[in-house]
Amino acid sequence: MQGTAPRLEIRNLTRLFGGACVVDDVSLSIKSGQVMCLLGPSGCGKSTTLRMIAGVDMQDSGEIWVDGTLICDGAFTVPAEQRGIGLMFQDFALFPHMNVADNVAFGLKGTRAEKLSRVEELLAKVGLMRLIDAYPHQLSGGEQQRVALARALAPRPKIMLMDEPFSGLDNRLRDGIRDETLALLKEEGTAVLLVTHEPEEAMRMADEIALMRDGKIVQRGAPYNIYNSPADLEAVGFFSDINVIRTICNGALAQTPFGQFLAPGVADGAEVDIVFRPQHVGIDFDRGGKGPLPTARDGTAARGVVQRSRFMGAESLVEFEMDDQSVIHATVPNVFLPKPGTPLWLTIRRDRCFVFPA
Ligand SMILES: Nc1ncnc2c1ncn2[C@@H]1O[C@H](COP(=O)(O)OP(=O)(O)OP(=O)(O)O)[C@@H](O)[C@H]1O
C-alpha cells in the first residue's frame, strides 16, 4: 500500500458545530510534491478542515490517512505533534525573543551542527542568510514570512498546511513570496494543502483546486479546468465578474439577443442562465444602425448603448445597456473609452459561454 498511497488523504470528513454541518462529507487526496488549494468564500469551512488535519480539532466522522496509514478516525487519533505535518498560518508568529536561527531551528532534533546545517540550508534557499542573527522585530513582513516558511519546512514535514499564509503581505511583495514559496515547496517534495479565499492565489499556486462552498467540495480540478468548465454559476462568478442572461427554454433552445444557445435536458418553459465573462464580449462599430454579420464563433451581434466606461490599468471596462434594458459588461485590453450614449454592437464568444438551469 505504502508508496502508491497518497501522501495525505481525507475521507468523508464531517464536523458539526451546534448542530450546523460546517464541514460536510469532504474527501480529498494529495500526492507528495502536489499543491492543492482549498478555495472558497469566508466561513465555508476551509480552516475547520485544516484544523482537523493538523490535529487541533477532531472530526465528528470521517478519516485522515497519511502515506496509507490511518492517523485519525474520530475515535482513534495520532497527536498533532506526531503527525509529521508542518503548519503555516497567517497569524503563526515567530518567537519574538529568539533570533532567526533559533526560530528556524525550533522544531529540529539532532546535534547542534546538524541543526545549524539545516538552518543555513533553508535560510540560503529563502535568501536570508545575512539575517541569521536578527530578531523578528528587525525584519520586514516579507522577511518574517520567509523565516516562518523556513521554520515550518525545517523538520522536513511530509505535509504542509497553509492557511491564508500570504494575506498579511502587501500585493507587490506577495507575488514574489508566493513564487519563492512554491519553488521551495516543490524542491522539498512536500504535499501542500493551502487554504485561500482568493481565486488568483489559488490559480497561481495550485496544481489542483478544490472549490468549497457551505462545507462541501463543489468541484475539483486543475486551475484551467475549474476556470473553463465551472460546475455552476457561482463557480464562474467566484473567479471573475460575470454577465448573466436569464431566459426561457423552448425545445432545448434558449433564445437571447445574441442568438440561440443549446440547453440540453432543460424542460420547455424552464429558465436558464447564459453566463459569460466580460473579456469574452466583442465590440464592433455601428454601421448606420447595423452590426457585423453573424459568425459561427460569435453568433449574432446585439446592439448596446454605452452607459459608462472606465480605465482599469491593463484593460478598460465598458458598461452597456442593451435594447432589452439588460446590462452587459465588456472588458477591452488597453484604452477603449467610448462616450456614454454611443451605440455599439456586441458579440460573445460562444465557446466561452456556460448554460446553467436557473
Ligand atoms: N469552534 C467553533 N465553534 C463554533 N463554530 C465554529 C467554530 N469554528 C468555526 N465555526 C464556524 O464554522 C464555520 C466555518 O468556519 P471556518 O473558519 O472553517 O471557515 P473558513 O472557510 O476558513 O472562513 P475564513 O476564510 O473566514 O477563515 C463558520 O460559520 C464559523 O463561525
Overall average pLDDT of the 348-354 stretch: 93
Poorest-confidence range of 28-42, 121-135, 175-189? 175-189
Nearest ligand 1 atom to the CA of 51 is 18
Overall average pLDDT of the 217-226 stretch: 96
Residue 172 pLDDT > 60, yes or no? yes
Residue nearest to atom 2 of ligand 1 (CA): 17
- Ligand 1 centroid to Cα of residue 45, in Å, is 6
**What is the model's pLDDT at position 303?**
95
Residue 348 pLDDT > 90, yes or no? yes
- Ligand 1 centroid to Cα of residue 227, in Å, is 26
Overall average pLDDT of the 62-72 stretch: 95
Write the pLDDT tens digit of every residue in 262-294: 998 899 999 999 999 999 999 999 988 888 898
Greater model confidence, 179 or 24: 24
Q: Strand order in 61-66's β-sheet?
A: 20-30, 8-17, 61-66, 69-72
**What is the model's pLDDT at position 91?**
66
Nearest ligand 1 atom to the CA of 50 is 18
The proportion of the chain whose per-residue pLDDT surpasses 70, expressed as a percent, equals 99
Nearest ligand 1 atom to the CA of 47 is 22
Cα–Cα dist 46/216, whole Å: 10
CB 122 within 8 Å of CB 154: yes
Which of 48, 56, 194, 213 to mutate to test ligand 1, by most ligand atoms within 8 A of the CB atom?
48
Cα–Cα dist 319/305, whole Å: 8
Residue 11 pLDDT > 70, yes or no? yes
Residue 301 pLDDT > 80, yes or no? yes
Averaged pLDDT score across all residues of the chain: 92
User: So what's the architecture of 240-357 in CATH?
Assistant: Beta Barrel (2.40)
Which of 47, 50, 164, 217 to mutate to test ligand 1, by most ligand atoms within 8 A of the CB atom?
47
Poorest-confidence range of 141-155, 161-175, 181-195, 236-250? 161-175
Q: Residue 110: what are its φ and ψ, rounded to 5°?
A: 115, -175
Cα–Cα dist 71/248, whole Å: 51
Joined grid coordinates for residue 28: 480529498
Q: Which residues contact 81 (CB under 8 A, 6 or more apart)?
A: 55
Cα–Cα dist 351/342, whole Å: 28
CB 211 within 8 Å of CB 219: yes
3-state secondary structure the chain: CCCCCCCEEEEEEEEEECCEEEEEEEEEEECCCCEEEEECCCCCCHHHHHHHHHCCCCCCEEEEEECCEEEECCCCECCHHHCCEEEEECCCCCCCCCCHHHHHHCCCCCCHHHHHHHHHHHHHHCCCHHHCCCCHHHCCHHHHHHHHHHHHHCCCCCEEEEECCCCCCCHHHHHHHHHHHHHHHHHHCCEEEEEECCHHHHHHHCCEEEEEECCEEEEEECHHHHHHCCCCHHHHHHHCCCEEEEEEEECCEEEECCEEEECCCCCCCCEEEEEECHHHEEEEECCCCCCCCCECCCECCEEEEEEEEEECCCEEEEEEEECCCCEEEEEEECCCCCCCCCEEEEEECHHHCEEEEC
Q: Which of 192, 182, 116 is nearest to 154 (CA)?
A: 116
**What is the model's pLDDT at position 180?**
84
Structural domain boundaries in the chain? 8-237, 240-357
The proportion of the chain whose per-residue pLDDT surpasses 90, expressed as a percent, equals 72
- Ligand 1 centroid to Cα of residue 217, in Å, is 16
Amino acid residing at 349: R
* pTM over cut 0.80: yes
**What is the model's pLDDT at position 3?**
53
Cα–Cα dist 101/130, whole Å: 11
Matching CATH number, 8-237, of 3.40.50.720, 2.130.10.30, 3.40.50.300, 3.40.190.10: 3.40.50.300
**Residue 242 Cα distances to 11, 52, 260, 330, 352, angstroms:** 34, 35, 19, 9, 12
Identify the residues whose C-beta falls under 6 Å from ligand 1: 17, 22, 40, 42-48, 197
**What is the model's pLDDT at position 21?**
95
What is the CA angle 159-165-169, rounded to 5?
A: 155
Overall average pLDDT of the 337-355 stretch: 95
Residue 298 pLDDT class (50, 70, 90 cuts): confident
Whether this model's ipTM surpasses 0.85 comes out as yes
Residue 1 pLDDT class (50, 70, 90 cuts): very low
Write the pLDDT tens digit of every residue in 102-148: 999 998 999 999 999 999 998 998 888 999 999 999 998 888 888 98
